[in-house]
Amino acid sequence: MTSTEKANAEKSSLRPTRQRLAVMEAMASFGDFRSAQDIHELLGERGEQVGLATVYRTLQRLADAGEVDVLRTEDGEAIYRRCSDSHHHHLVCRSCGATVEVEGPTVERWTSSIAAEHGYADVSHALEIFGTCPRCR
Amino acid sequence: MTSTEKANAEKSSLRPTRQRLAVMEAMASFGDFRSAQDIHELLGERGEQVGLATVYRTLQRLADAGEVDVLRTEDGEAIYRRCSDSHHHHLVCRSCGATVEVEGPTVERWTSSIAAEHGYADVSHALEIFGTCPRCR
DNA sequence: GTCGGAGTTGACAATCATTCTCACTTCATC
DNA sequence: GATGAAGTGAGAATGATTGTCAACTCCGAC
Ligand SMILES: [Zn+2]
Ligand SMILES: [Zn+2]
Ligand SMILES: [Zn+2]
Ligand SMILES: [Zn+2]
């Protein structure tokens, strides 16, 4: 089973419960990266009671399905953001977290050619850009 | 105080204790990324008794001084590797961990221009490439 | 409609990397 | 050989994440 088939299989067995819908709705309501605990808290404020473990589980499912992107803060905490489904990278403000999705063939080509040059196959990559956004300047 | 000055100040107050030398020596003895606990264990096997907390502290110092690079495994664990001091990225084998340092102006230019395009200042970036190395194929 | 089983949930416990605490040691300096 | 700052280590504490498991919800088969 390829990873795509597996993802589809998992997705197809997902029931659209109140909790999952609430998490997905919450994810749609902000544009920066937030931790599972942040999202759990946000849900609480909105009056949507969802268990913390369920928030973690749902975010994992969404991440596996590629519907959210996951990053790690400097101290290792996982943070999540709803993202477009096509391959892209992130330009993140170090101060306020404002995030822009960026893409371009340049890096894609560069990483492939570097990997090929060293005989590495089955290549993937992770790239994030950090800076201070115009509003935080 | 710039970050360089700070690093130097911190470095200058460092005493070359048996423990620190042992950690640095251990770091020089492998070429892939290892966790603090791995390194602690490695030290134990070599007969160098160093407390786990000290290993953590030393790795942090080295990382702050830019003498080792830090990555995060998929499950958030920090892994360390002794690296050249110039800016570079990593091509890592997903199977055996074999790591190659790579660099090139292409990505550097691309990230800068993307950031500038969106008005982000004070830019840095993180890029890792993952694949299967020739020996693991 | 109701039965049954798979999928789901949440309170709580458990895990586990990392950090903290603090009494003790080392080392340079005087 | 006294002093104080830097460093250490055993063990406790922290805190994000995951595991457990009994209760609950769907939904299709009957
Ligand atoms: Zn994204
Ligand atoms: Zn890319
Ligand atoms: Zn490196
Ligand atoms: Zn670079």
Number of neighbours of residue B8 by Cβ within 10 angstroms: 13
Nucleotides of strand D within 7 Å of the protein's CB atoms: 6-11, 16-20, 25-27
B69, burial (CB in 10 Å: exposed 0-12, middle 13-18, buried 19+): buried
Find the nucleotide nearest A13 (Cα to C1′): C7
For B4-137, where are the E strands, in sequence order? 34-35, 68-72, 78-82, 89-93, 99-102, 121-132
Q: B81-91 pLDDT, tens per residue?
A: 999 999 999 99
Nearest to B89 by CA among B75, B107, B73, B76: B107
Q: Spell out the residues 6+ positions from residue B30 whose beta carbon is closer than 8 angstroms to its own.
A: B42, B81
Helices (H) and strands (E) counted in chain B, each on its own, are: 5, 6
pLDDT bin (cut points 50, 70, 90) of residue A13 is low
Pairwise CB contact (< 8 Å): B127 & A127:
yes
- Mean pLDDT, chain B, rounded, equals 91
Query: Is any Cβ of chain B less than 8 angstroms from the Cβ of A3?
Result: no
Domains of chain A (ranges plus CATH)?
Answer: 1-83 (1.10.10.10), 85-137 (3.30.1490.190)
Q: Is the pTM of this model over 0.85?
A: yes
Residue A28 to chain B, least CA–CA distance (Å): 23
What are A69-111's pLDDT values in tens digits? 999 999 999 999 999 999 999 999 999 999 999 999 999 999 9
